Amino acid sequence: MPSIVAEKVQQAVAILRELDLDCWLTFVRETTETGDPVLPLILGQPLTWQSALIITKTGETIAIVGKYEDEAVRSSGGGGVWTKVLPYVQSIRSPLTTTLARLNPRQIAVNFSTDDVKADGLSHGMMLLLREYLAGSPFAERLVSAGPVIRALRGRKSPGEVERIKHAIAVGDEIFESVARFAKAGMSEKAIADFMHAEVERRKITTSWEWAQCPIVTTGPKSMVGHAAPSNDLTIEPGHIFHLDFGVRVDEYCSDIQRSWYVPHPHENKPGETNPPETVQRGFDTVLRAIQAAFDTLKPGTPGWQVDAAARKVIVDAGYPEHQHATGHGVGRAAHDGGIVLGPKWERYGQTPTYPVEPGHVLTLELGIENLDGRGYLGLEEMVLVTDCGAEWLSVPQTTMMLLR
């Protein structure tokens, strides 16, 4: 079995051919501090001094790195991935310009992008340095964004990557099941988060996004929707909607799932009664239909905004307020893993909603209604894999409004 690094570097060569790009340059330094998100895919280790990783359409893989990292780069990905390693001591300028002069690429795709943070690892200071090194050569005019290369590379998951994501979802499901048994009316959001954190630590894994805000716990009308940390003061109460947004990173790959429960109220639910109030049920059914509507649009070639529009229409047509975020995003080594956004063409999403869905994309479908019937946020989030002719569910979708007992 090739390592994921070996798999992805080979995939990168194929993508350069497909895009007819001569050369892809990843230019980085001190990556433990400000890492380039593409580095784990093509190298799998940090770099310290100014370093250039060059992949060509013809299949050359050249790493120009600080002297002390020579050996580590040679053995990355099990060895043999970076076939030419050029260590330097005083300055990268000479080996970099000499290498580019030999390759003489028509274009140099560089690791920056206005729209895709996962393809935007080059700092502005490093871009200024690169331009200075290339000043006077023809290459200064041949720099283009590597966004399309990186978007394809990150977005199109290899079978090995899909297996890892499935595993993360399965582990996350275990924790959702545990917390559903644990959670009771009267508990604070913080107590729920602490319980889930203990489940994460017990498994020696991490959360898919920042620890303090993963899970996001919301309960009742006063709970902030979005990225606030779970509250000590807000408690689960009868009549509330109780909602979790949570994911785990296992073997470097992530899940990102939302689940919602109704907390039965003694005045509304007789003992043994299993239905949430009609207003809550109608909200749940609408969210479920919206996610299904998004799912039904998924096939190679559909632009992200069309997937979003299908879901958004269901919410708005049912008379609920329009959600103020995208319907979905890529997932991979991070909960938000770059490339396409299944969202409206709002400026903050840049070009990302115009990108087409491709086979191998792993995406979320996530929708919700804020403060439904004064009872809190009702939200669901599922994960799907785009196939050659449509999509398949990676998560087991929530299809009934669960009751928290």
Q: Which of residues 171-200 bind a second copy (CB under 8 A)?
A: none
Measured distance CA(243)–CA(268) in Å, rounded: 20
Largest Cα–Cα distance of the chain, in whole Å? 81
> Mask 365-384, x = binds a second copy (CB under 8 A)?
--------------------
The single residue among 22, 30, 252, 373 that binds a second copy, judged by CB under 8 A, is 30
User: Smallest Cα–Cα separation from 405: which of 180, 243, 188, 195?
Assistant: 180
Region near a second copy per CB under 8 A, out of 60-68, 242-250, 358-366, 386-394: 60-68
Q: At what angle do helices 124-134 and 93-103 cross, to 10 degrees?
A: 70
The single residue among 98, 104, 114, 399 that binds a second copy, judged by CB under 8 A, is 114
Region near a second copy per CB under 8 A, out of 16-24, 113-121, 368-376, 391-399: 113-121
Provide the token pair at 228. Answer: 């606030």
- Rounded (5°) CA angle 316-370-280: 85
CA distances from 332 to 16, 208, 252, 270, 364 (A): 21, 10, 8, 44, 11
Cα torsion angle, 399, 163, 43, 388, sign: negative
Pairing assessment for the beta strands 378-386 and 391-393 based on DSSP bridges: antiparallel
The single residue among 126, 309, 315, 367 that binds a second copy, judged by CB under 8 A, is 126
Q: What is the closest distance, in whole angstroms, from the C-beta atom of residue 221 to a second copy in the complex? A: 15
Q: Which of residues 208-227 bind a second copy (CB under 8 A)?
A: 209-210, 212, 224-227
Return the DSSP state at 58.
T
Region near a second copy per CB under 8 A, out of 114-122, 312-320, 378-386, 397-405: 114-122
Alpha carbon 218 to its chain's center: 22
Q: Considering the rule CB under 8 A, would residue 264 count as an interface residue with a second copy?
A: no
Q: What is the closest distance, in whole angstroms, from the C-beta atom of residue 390 to a second copy in the complex? A: 30
Q: What is the closest distance, in whole angstroms, from the C-beta atom of residue 204 to a second copy in the complex? A: 11
Residues lying near a second copy in the complex (CB under 8 A) = 29-30, 32-37, 45-46, 48-50, 66-69, 71-72, 89-93, 112-129, 132, 145, 209-210, 212, 224-229, 324, 334, 336, 346-348
